[in-house]
Amino acid sequence: MTLAELLPSLGCSVADHLEHDTWPPGTRLGRDGELIFAGAPVSQLAARFGTPAYLIDENAVRARARAYTAALPEAEVAFASKALSSGAVLRWIAEEGLSLDTCSAGEIAMARSIGFPAERILLHGNAKTPEDLKAALSYRVGRIVLDSLDEIAQLGALAPHRQDVLLRVTPDVDARTHAKISTGAEGQKFGFSLRGDVPDNLDRAVAAVLAQPSLRLAGLHCHIGSQVSRVDKYEEAARRMIAELARIRDTHGITLRQLDLGGGQAIGYLPGEAPFDLQGYARRLRVAIGFECSSRDFPMPRLTIEPGRSIVGQAGITVYRVCAVKRGGRTFVAVDGGMSDNPRPALYGARYTARLVGRYSAAPRKPMVVVGRHCESGDVLAEDIALPGDLRAGDLLAVPCTGAYHHSLASNYNLVGRPPLVGVRDGHASLLVRRETEDDLLAREVGCR
């Protein structure tokens, strides 16, 4: 018997293999087309928790957190909670010794609910409301990243105690990523400009903070964008930021000891996409910062980085059930979720893959388009991916790389409830965030009662 003849009898095929560069470490194929995720069969998880459902591999999250602290042991690693803000996930992050980057009073409340150490929390954002600032001050978070002259004045008036702050800088570095997630170049909403002819420039911001008795300027912050794959762009930003720290010392007579270089490290969403070079990133940052500090006689600052997607993105998958298959000029596979649980394809043109799970199929693979249930032509989850030609209603599909910016960006479009978040570790699953019900949606309606 040949290998090709033998494999179908074992419940798999020559063409049926798992692209390990997109799925969490340890994910594997089982018998009869099953996908084993964090030690648990995905079809059993779908039966237990329903679909669509977000699944997150706890061990994979912890391993990525440790990879960052091992690569840069001298740096503070602050998880960007906007990527996945859940009490259980934040508890894992806290237990791994990471700090936390938050963007709102709600994210601070989530951190506070699980007792995340306040001194390890940063708050930033380009338009913090008074409620955001009051929440940060109430919990006494370690640092607040200021983004405008108005914000400096507001925080100075609100702060009842001496508050450490950083100033966010626009380093004018083009990260070569999607325009809607590029944040380091001139002409977008984040940070103080380095240009002297811009009214809200960095020098004016430094002077404004120094004039506030309740604020202590601790350092600078920048973030060049998200899904950044080029290490040299981080290196360029680091060099410019050290130059600014040295210039502030010479101009304003103050030596700032903290430098936050943000996050945004890319992950591979599709098979064959090169992984981010974390070791090269760490090595080149050290060299760039060390050289600039030495050449400018500036003390080495305390470095902070803010990975989010790169810690949780590939640790998560989403499971859908097929509702219908429409065959014509193109084959459309409609599932029971869509842009309400994953808006990224519609927002950024993000691309995903998917695979059949829960049954074996020997049918030839054909290009298909996975679409959602919502009343929008743009509700497309994955385009032109190879799926078995006998795909049918009732089948399960799993989409990898959905741990970041899926649960966080989920909406109730068409009044569809948001999916549950299920944590899986060593074959054991637990509900972290329950499925949103129609009663939940109706509970906010008060005008008709």
Catalytically annotated residue among 12, 222, 323, 375: 375
How, if at all, do strands 258-260 and 215-221 pair?
A: parallel
Amino acid at 76: E
Q: How far apart, in whole angstroms, are the C-alpha atoms of residue 275 and residue 25? A: 13
Q: Hey, how many other C-beta atoms are within 10 angstroms of the C-beta on 393?
A: 11
Q: Is 401 a catalytic residue?
A: no
Task: Give the contacts of 202 (CB within 8 A, at least 6 positions apart).
Answer: 167, 169, 192, 193, 194, 244, 248
CA–CA–CA angle 67, 85, 315 (5° rounding): 40
Q: How far apart, in whole angstroms, are the C-alpha atoms of residue 354 and residue 366? A: 13
Q: How far is CA 31 from CA 321, 322, 359, in A?
A: 20, 21, 9
Strands (E) located in 256-364: 258-260, 302-305, 316-326, 332-335, 355-357
How, if at all, do strands 121-123 and 99-102 pair?
A: parallel
Q: How far is CA 54 from CA 58, 315, 406, in A?
A: 13, 10, 8
Burial state string for 397-427 with b = 16 or more CB within 10 A and e = fewer than 16? bbbbbbbbbbbebbeebeebbbbbbbbbbee
Element (H, E) at 94: helix 87-95
Residue ranges of the alpha helices (H) in 105-176? 105-113, 130-139, 149-158
Contact 149/205 with Cβ under 8 angstroms?
yes
Q: Hey, how many other C-beta atoms are within 10 angstroms of the C-beta on 322?
A: 20
Q: Which two tokens stand for residue 25?
A: 């470490």
Residue with tokens 């840069």: 72
Q: How far apart, in whole angstroms, are the C-alpha atoms of residue 204 and residue 437? A: 50
Instruction: Report the catalytic residues.
Output: 375
